[in-house]
Amino acid sequence: MIQEVIKQKLAVLKPLFIEVVNESYQHNVPAGSESHFKVVIVSDSFAGQRLLARHRMIYQLLEQEMQQPIHALALHTYTPDEWQKQQDSVPDSPECRGGSRFSS
């Protein structure tokens, strides 16, 4: 399961909180697909790092999975202080507007 692989690989960041959500069902993909994910991760590893650097860390850790099978990865990266200010909440992902579901 790709969802578990993502969690295992991101464990190196010693997350205080991690949630990996398979959002593939929201997209025009076959049932049971594992191609679109949202990751919410809280880690001291992000302290002093800008958003781009945090995302680069994660993309580097998931380099193999990003080549196949992951098509899209929504990242929500927080330090413990930022997470507390968010009141432990994350914005919902937007609805898919691609593929054959999009009508012009």
> Which runs of consecutive H residues, i.e. helices, occur in the chain?
2-10, 51-61, 63-67, 80-85
pLDDT of residue 88: 66
Tell me which residue has tokens 């899209």.
Answer: 72
User: Could you confirm whether domain 2-88 is CATH 3.30.300.90?
Assistant: yes
Instruction: Break the chain into its structural domains and give their ranges.
Output: 2-88
- Identify the helix (H) or strand (E) that includes residue 55: helix 51-61
* pTM summary value: 0.80
- Give the pLDDT confidence of 35-76 residue by residue, as tens digits: 678 899 999 999 999 999 999 999 999 999 888 877 788 899
- Give the pLDDT confidence of 66-95 residue by residue, as tens digits: 888 777 888 999 999 999 998 767 777 666
Both structure tokens of 47: 């302290």
